């Protein structure tokens, strides 16, 4: 019987994953990484689920690592006028980093999570690949581009072939799992009230510093309340009147300025991506046609990509709106994740 270490958040997805893995004949061990103050509730729920299913559960204190890899990166991004995606750092360093090390310590061949994604051995490419799940808009492959590719053969996603969350909840109800109707967590896990500005002010040296809102010619149009209070594409809350609607286009950190302009200036046909990770290929020396997602909630867009020094150059077929530095660009070939990186 193969052993698998399953990351458990106390939610319905990971709970049903535990059940499905056990039904498939794996020896399942549940684990909860204690990453921040309010992980305790998740830990209790996960322990209770494991007890009900009849599997072991371990907790590991990973607060120092979580602060180093996820929270410090979150703060650094906002300090440098970028918009972070902490789930991607968490997957890379915590769920598919520390958790994999724990799996080896416990003698587990596999690790598993409740993500809506899929791994399989591709005959076409002659390697294990990361793919979209069947969950449509719920698919979470976007968040997984940064995982080490050598891990892919040892990752199980039990929810890969389910098309909706309701199917998962129904399995939980049928098996009397008490988390069947537990609400989805929509916010950043370590900021449960969703107030990231308050979090930044309480956990870093970032403080609201007023400055000018300027247009592309440098003309002062108004005053901002602190650069981290704004995001690219924002229209509301600028407090300036103009004959034509104005949107946040970018920032000048040195001058402490928010730069605004008309909507047509939000569109870009070319971007560069750094700190990239390639899963499907080992290098991109010639242009490859791909579909690119620049936000989790955005649709894919056709583009060509090529390596350019330590970056990947992305040229879109059609200009894309409000591309935001710090977010991830994820490249797909069909439903396979080719790789991804951080937008510059």
From 121, 153, 174, give the residue that closes a domain.
174
Upper half-sphere CA count for residue 141 (Cβ side, 13 Å): 30
Q: 253 and 146: one domain?
A: no
Q: 31 and 163: one domain?
A: yes
From 261, 282, 297, give the residue that closes a domain.
261
Q: What's the angle, vertex CA 199, arms to CA 341 and CA 215, rounded to 5?
A: 65
Q: 72 and 31: one domain?
A: yes
47, part of any domain: yes
Q: 155 and 220: one domain?
A: no
Q: 156 and 122: one domain?
A: yes
pLDDT at 279: 98
Give me the helix-helix angle, 165-174 and 12-23, nearest 10°: 60
pLDDT at 249: 98
181, part of any domain: no
Give the model confidence (pLDDT) of 19-46 as tens digits.
999 999 999 999 999 998 777 778 889 9
Distance from C-alpha of 22 to C-alpha of 186, rounded to nearest angstrom = 28
Burial class of 198 by CB neighbour count within 10 A (0 to 12, 13 to 18, 19+): exposed
Report the CATH number that the domain containing residue 323 is assigned in CATH. Answer: 2.40.30.10
pLDDT band at 3 (very low <50, low <70, confident <90, very high): very high
Q: What's the mean pLDDT in 37-61?
A: 90
Helices (H), 110-224: 165-174, 196-203
196, part of any domain: no
Do 69 and 89 form a contact (C-beta atoms < 8 A)?
yes
Q: 221 and 288: one domain?
A: no
Number of Cβ atoms within 10 Å of the Cβ of 70: 26
Q: 214 and 126: one domain?
A: no
Q: 69 and 135: one domain?
A: yes
Q: What's the angle, vertex CA 14, arms to CA 8 and CA 19, rounded to 5?
A: 110
Give the model confidence (pLDDT) of 102-126 as tens digits.
999 999 999 999 999 999 999 999 9
Residues marked active site are found at 90, 189
Report the CATH number that the domain containing residue 228 is assigned in CATH. Answer: 2.30.30.280
Distance from C-alpha of 210 to C-alpha of 222, rounded to nearest angstrom = 10
Rounded to the nearest integer, the mean pLDDT of the chain is 96
Report the CATH number that the domain containing residue 169 is assigned in CATH. Answer: 3.40.50.620
Give the model confidence (pLDDT) of 186-243 as tens digits.
679 999 888 999 999 999 999 889 999 999 999 999 999 999 999 999 999 999 999 9
pLDDT at residue 307 greater than cutoff 80: yes
Q: What's the angle, vertex CA 272, arms to CA 269 and CA 274, rounded to 5?
A: 155
pLDDT band at 184 (very low <50, low <70, confident <90, very high): confident
Q: 223 and 319: one domain?
A: no
Do 340 and 292 form a contact (C-beta atoms < 8 A)?
no
153, part of any domain: yes
200, part of any domain: no
Q: 32 and 128: one domain?
A: yes
187, part of any domain: no
Q: 119 and 17: one domain?
A: yes
From 153, 174, 195, give the residue that closes a domain.
174
38, part of any domain: yes
Q: 111 and 77: one domain?
A: yes
Domain count, the chain: 3
Distance from C-alpha of 132 to C-alpha of 136, rounded to nearest angstrom = 8
202, part of any domain: no
Q: Domain containing 141: what range?
A: 3-174
């Amino acid at each position: 019987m193969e052993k698998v270490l399953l990351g458990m958040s106390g939610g319905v997805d990971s709970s049903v994953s535990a059940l499905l893995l056990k039904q498939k004949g794996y020896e399942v061990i549940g684990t909860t990484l204690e990453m921040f103050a309010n992980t305790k509730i998740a830990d209790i729920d996960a322990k209770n689920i494991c007890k009900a299913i009849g599997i072991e559960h371990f907790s590991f204190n990973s607060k120092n690592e979580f602060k180093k890899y996820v929270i410090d990166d979150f703060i650094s991004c906002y300090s440098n006028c970028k918009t972070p995606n902490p789930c991607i750092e968490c997957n890379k360093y915590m769920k598919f980093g520390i958790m994999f090390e724990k799996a080896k310590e416990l003698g587990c061949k596999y690790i598993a999570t409740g993500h809506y994604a899929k791994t399989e051995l591709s005959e076409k490419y002659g390697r294990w690949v990361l793919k979209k799940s069947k969950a449509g808009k719920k698919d979470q492959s976007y968040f997984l581009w940064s995982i080490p590719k050598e891990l892919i053969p040892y990752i199980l996603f039990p929810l890969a072939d389910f098309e909706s969350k309701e199917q998962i909840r129904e399995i939980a109800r049928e098996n009397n799992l008490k988390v069947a109707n537990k609400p989805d967590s929509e916010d950043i896990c370590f900021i449960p009230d969703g107030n990231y500005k308050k979090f930044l002010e309480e956990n870093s040296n970032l403080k609201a510093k007023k400055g000018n809102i300027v247009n592309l010619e440098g003309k002062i149009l108004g005053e901002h309340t602190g650069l981290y209070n704004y995001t690219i594409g924002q229209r509301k809350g600028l407090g300036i009147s103009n004959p034509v609607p104005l949107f946040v286009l970018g920032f000048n950190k040195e001058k402490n300025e928010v730069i605004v302009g008309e909507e047509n200036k939000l569109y870009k046909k070319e971007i560069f991506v750094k700190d990239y990770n390639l899963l499907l290929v080992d290098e991109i020396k010639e242009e490859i046609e791909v579909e690119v997602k620049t936000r989790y909630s955005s649709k894919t867009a056709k583009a060509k990509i090529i390596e350019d020094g330590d970056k990947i150059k992305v040229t879109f077929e059609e200009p894309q709106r409000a591309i935001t530095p710090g977010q991830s660009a994820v490249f797909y070939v069909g439903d396979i994740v080719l790789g991804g990186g951080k937008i510059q």
